[in-house]
Amino acid sequence: TPVEYRHTIADSLVYVVPDAFGDLQGSAAGSVELPLHLDWGPERTYDVDDDGTCSVLYQLTLQNSGSIQEICRIVQAGRLTALWPTMILPARCRQLWETTFPELPTILEAKEHPSWTTPSA
């Protein structure tokens, strides 16, 4: 029997990735304010020093920005590498970034790294 394929909105989303990992020159510390087209909430300023807040900042940017220049201005390569394993991204977005930049650790690689810690029960 034929398998029916349903096209979803997620299949239509376009993700952009810079040509070089080193182009990601965003701030490694301090705060970043997202433009309205990326975050239309009342609190658009994100603390890059806080891992959780920075993860949300990067997730919103990678998923919603259609501009390579904008991504390079917001995202910093070192912070992205550190946060990558814990970031929640659509599968296609994650795959595109990991394929383009093999320097990003996969979730499995991060779990095998000695700095990966999980709380004990």
- pLDDT grade for 6, boundaries at 50, 70 and 90: confident
Name residue 76's beta-bridge partners.
25
- pLDDT grade for 109, boundaries at 50, 70 and 90: low
- Tens of pLDDT, residue by residue over 38-83, are 998 899 999 999 999 999 999 999 999 989 999 999 999 999 999 9
Give one DSSP letter per residue of 56-75, joined into a string: HHHHHHHHH---HHHHHHH-
Q: Of 24, 35, 39, 44, which Cα lies nearest the Cα of 103?
A: 24
Token pair recorded at residue 25: 């020159």
107 or 32, greater pLDDT: 32
Q: Where are the domains of the chain?
A: 20-103
- pLDDT grade for 10, boundaries at 50, 70 and 90: low
Give the pLDDT score at 13.
80
